[in-house]
């Protein structure tokens, strides 16, 4: 947890065809997504306006956009797409995203993946 930072959090459940498991070949499955975006308080022009802090709608729409992919994708590439959207918000300094599929092993296991990056790490990976 970062101190002196705003944190915008988005939690969503989406229908995603990831193709990572034979059970998923029949169609999209539920994926639970959690995303956090941190921005330093000093970077915020007007802390009384949520749009000047971190625009969580950008994050939510990026998560929902994943459902529009008709081809099989993996959770890893999905996380990177959401990470791109988060870092498109100029004041965001770091982000955390996790995704898990509660259905795959009939309640006996929950495949999950997460990624935390700073803006500098993201910039190096995208260059």
- What the block records as the tokens of 103 is 């259905």
**pLDDT of 72 higher than 60:** no
Question: CA-CA distance, 89 to 111, in Å (whole number)?
Answer: 29
Average pLDDT estimate for 107-127 = 86
Residues whose CB is less than 8 angstroms from the CB of residue 1 and which lie 6 or more positions away in sequence, other chains included: none
Question: CA-CA distance, 68 to 54, in Å (whole number)?
Answer: 24
Average pLDDT estimate for 12-28 = 73
Average pLDDT estimate for 8-32 = 78
Report the predicted TM-score, pTM, of the whole model to 2 decimal places.
0.84
**pLDDT of 31 higher than 80:** yes
pLDDT value at residue 104? 65
pLDDT digits (tens, 9 = 90+) for 92-109: 999 999 998 877 666 677
**E strand segments, the chain:** 5-16, 29-40, 94-100, 112-118
- What the block records as the tokens of 108 is 């006996």
Between 28 and 36, where is the model more confident? 36
Average pLDDT estimate for 33-48 = 86
- What the block records as the tokens of 32 is 């639970």
Give me the architecture of the 5-126 domain, per CATH: 2-Layer Sandwich (3.30)
């Amino acid at each position: 947890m970062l101190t002196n930072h705003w944190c915008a959090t988005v939690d969503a459940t989406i229908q995603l065809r990831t193709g990572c498991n034979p059970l998923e070949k029949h169609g999209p499955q539920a994926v639970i997504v959690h995303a956090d975006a941190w921005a330093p308080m000093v970077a915020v022009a007007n802390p009384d306006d949520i749009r000047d802090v971190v625009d969580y709608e950008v994050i939510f729409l990026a998560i929902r956009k994943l459902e529009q992919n008709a081809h099989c994708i993996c959770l890893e590439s999905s996380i990177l797409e959401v990470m791109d959207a988060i870092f498109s918000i100029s004041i965001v300094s770091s982000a955390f995203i996790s995704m898990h599929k509660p259905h795959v092993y009939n309640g006996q296991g929950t495949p999950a993946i997460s990624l935390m990056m700073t803006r500098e790490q993201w910039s190096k990976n995208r260059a």
